[in-house]
Amino acid sequence: MMNHGQVTFKLLFIYIILLLALLSGCASPPPIDKTFVMPDKTFIMPEAKTYPEESRVLVAVPVIPVEIHSIK
């Protein structure tokens, strides 16, 4: 037989699960940016822009230097 603490924990657990299910089920969808949505709700990716200095590199290195610290 379960004691009072186990029953309280189980009821609290069930209550939290039901509350999360209700909150997530009743939540509205996130707003959609109208710039990239066609009437049939198709996402259109904006065209990628590559600058001339980006396309003529010999070695790919990050613009911002990466600092590496060893953990001891």
Give me the tens of pLDDT residue by residue for the chain, a chain 72 residues long.
567 777 788 889 999 999 888 887 766 666 666 555 556 666 778 888 888 877 777 777 767 877 888 887
Q: What is the pLDDT of residue 49?
A: 85
Residue boundaries of the structural domains of the chain: 4-55
pLDDT at 1: 54
Q: Within 13 Å and on the Cβ side, how many CA atoms surround 19?
A: 6
What size, in residues, is the chain?
Answer: 72
**Per-residue confidence (pLDDT) for residue 16, from 0 to 100:** 92
Alpha helices in the chain (DSSP H): 4-25, 52-55
pTM: 0.34
pLDDT for res 40: 65
